[in-house]
Each structure stands twice: as structure tokens, then as C-alpha cells.
Amino acid sequence: MKRRTLIAAAVSAAFVLAGGTAFAQSPIVIKFSHVVAVDTPKGKGAEEFKRLAEERTKGRVKVEVYPNSQLYKDKEELEALQLGAVQMLAPSLAKFGPLGAREFEVFDLPYIFDNYAELHRVTQGPIGQSLLKKLESKGILGLAYWDNGFKVMSANKPLRMPEDFKGLKMRIQSSKVLDAQFRALGANPQVMAFSEVYHALQTGVVDGTENPPSNLYTQKMYEVQKYVTMSDHGYLGYAVIVNKKFWDGLPPDIRKTLDGAMKDATKFANDIAKAENDKAMEEVRKSGKSEIITLTPEQKKAWKKALVKVHKESEGRIGKALIESIYKETGFDPAKL
């Protein structure tokens, strides 16, 4: 071999070695930021994804989970994802409006889903998929839907009938459908980041709020709310999303492994969601700090009657066709409420 060829071979071998070493030393990092406690359906789902992703890629990927708004609050985390400061989030479906994906607010319509089975027909079917596709033009890829659960209402006064909401300041997520929901009850909705809710309830900045029991419990909101009504009036769940450029730029074998890890973490999260919420509600009950109100069939009927008009009111914002396609999927009939 000529001297020049030898040098070239040595240089390229060194390059491969250095590259290999560098690769082994610096895994691909996925920062996964979220706003809830670790001990919730989303918190546990994120931990499960981390475990599966790191194990199956044999350390080539490192998932750093940042719970409890440690890195970013609601609005900032979406901006951070688009800028590439974090790679993965699981915001509630009620928080996609400010991104310009208002259709996701369809999940906030009161009483549109009676149970998880009806909901899954949407999230795990073609409607769910087509909604995720809408995120791509925003530089975001939707990977999965993760469940939380059905919401309860809380306040310092008992909420048994729609009239009981009159004049109350209620904290909401940034969804216009949730805004309409509380206006239909005569309350004053106030958008606020999740991380600020406990303090706002404690100091009386707002009077009440809505959330699935897992959030009410882990954020200790029940300690500063005298009454909790088990109204199941609406659903709260998540879309797991990634920065599209980042995801598309992953080595194909890694991306495939991560897709598999996400599929299994999704099953895990959705399998535990109901039990986590039931357990949280039981803990709230056991604490004795809030009185738990169960609605009578007549009271529930009055809530439904007061709230169903929000569906029609929201047609302009989220699309009549989308709302009707969900009715078709779940068998919901507003006339029957």
C-alpha cells in the first residue's frame, strides 16, 4: 500500500473509532416535560416510556422526564417543543387551541363521552388519527393519546344544581369550549396554568375548578376545596407529541424502537388511568377534607340540560362535521339528554 493510502486508511479508521466512541458516550437525549405529578396516569406513563425506550435502545437513547411544571408551564412547554428546547410533551387536549389546532377542543364538550370505551372509539380510530395529522403543519408529530379521566367539580360551596355556579370564578385550561361550559352555568371562567391552581384556590383568586380526581388529589387541591361533586361532566386526556424535525431526524432503527416503546407505554398508561383515578378519589374521601357530593339522577339531568347547548355553540369553532362524526361513533344524541 502506498504511504498516502495508508495514512488515509488510518485517518478513516480513527474517525470511525472516534465516532463510535463519541456515539457510545453521548446518547440521544429526549427531554419529556409535563405539568402533573409523577404519581398520576400521565406521570407513570412517562416513566414507563423512559424505561422501555432506554432498555430497548440499550442506552442509545436517554429520556429525561421533567414532571410538575419543573421546566415549563402549560403555554411555555408548547413553545419550547416547537423551538426544540424539549423533544416530547403530553399536554391535555384542552391546550391545543392556542397552537391553532382548535379541533382538539371537541374532547372538552360536556357529556360527549359516557365512558372510556366510547372515547377510545374516537382516540383509537380514524378521527383520532386525522386530528393528530393536523399538528404536522405546526412542526409537531402526534404519537399517541393517553387517558386521564372524567372530571369532578370542586368549590367551597356545594355544587348540586347548575344555579349553584352562578357568579363563581372557576379556573379553566386554555379551551374556549371550557370557557363556554362555565358561562353556560353562569360562572366566570378564568384561564390559568396548572401549576398555579392550588395557590389560586388557597388564596381565593378563584373559587373552584374541574379536574379528574388524580390531579385533584396529587396537587392537594382537595385540601383547599370544601366540596367535590362527582359530576363526570367531561373528559380530560392527552396527546403525546414530539418535535417533528427531531423525530424525523432520528436514525430509522432508533425511531422504530421508540415507536414500539411508545405503543407499549400507551397501553400501560391507558390501562392504569381508571384505577388511578378511582384510587385518588378514595384517598380524597378518606382524607375527610372535602365533602363528596354524588348527584341524584334529577340533578344530573339538570346539568346535562344546562350544558348540552355548548355543543351547538361550539360548532363554529371546532366544526359541525367533526362533532357529528363523534356522535356517530359513540351513539351520542343531544336530543336524548
Residues 94-123 that bind ligand LMR (CB under 6 A): none
Cell numbers 386525522: residue = 130
Query: What is the H or E stretch that residue 241 is in?
Result: strand 235-243
Q: Binding of ligand LMR at residue 215 (CB under 6 A)?
A: yes
Which residue's CB is nearer to ligand LMR, number 87 or number 148?
148
Q: Binding of ligand LMR at residue 266 (CB under 6 A)?
A: no
**Binds ligand LMR (CB under 6 A): choice among 28, 35, 201, 295:** 35
Q: Binding of ligand LMR at residue 174 (CB under 6 A)?
A: no
* Smallest gap from residue 155 Cβ to ligand LMR (A): 15
* Smallest gap from residue 55 Cβ to ligand LMR (A): 26
Q: HEC states along 168-222?
A: CEEEECCCHHHHHHHHHCCCEEEECCHHHHHHHHHHCCCCEEEECHHHHHHCCHH
Helices (H), 105-157: 116-123, 126-133
Q: Binding of ligand LMR at residue 46 (CB under 6 A)?
A: no
Which residue's CB is nearer to ligand LMR, number 113 or number 194?
194
* Smallest gap from residue 17 Cβ to ligand LMR (A): 45
Q: Binding of ligand LMR at residue 173 (CB under 6 A)?
A: yes
Query: What is the H or E stretch that residue 23 is in?
Result: helix 3-25
How crowded is residue 74: how many other Cβ atoms within 10 Å of its Cβ? Answer: 21
Using CB atoms, what's the residue nearest to ligand LMR?
92
d(CA 162, CA 306): 7
Which residue's CB is nearer to ligand LMR, number 30 or number 192?
192
8-state DSSP, 68: T
Are 108 and 93 in contact, with CB atoms under 8 Å apart?
yes
173-to-57, 62, 212 alpha-carbon distances in Å: 36, 31, 13
Sheet with 235-243, side-by-side order of all strands: 61-66, 28-33, 88-89, 235-243, 140-150
Which residue's CB is nearer to ligand LMR, number 103 or number 210?
210
Q: Binding of ligand LMR at residue 33 (CB under 6 A)?
A: no
d(CA 83, CA 33): 14
Q: Binding of ligand LMR at residue 211 (CB under 6 A)?
A: yes
Are 142 and 78 in contact, with CB atoms under 8 Å apart?
no
Q: Binding of ligand LMR at residue 93 (CB under 6 A)?
A: no
* Smallest gap from residue 147 Cβ to ligand LMR (A): 11
**Binds ligand LMR (CB under 6 A): choice among 33, 148, 181, 290:** 148
Q: Binding of ligand LMR at residue 225 (CB under 6 A)?
A: no
Q: Binding of ligand LMR at residue 290 (CB under 6 A)?
A: no
What residues make contact with ligand LMR under the rule CB under 6 A? 35-36, 92, 148, 173, 194, 211, 215
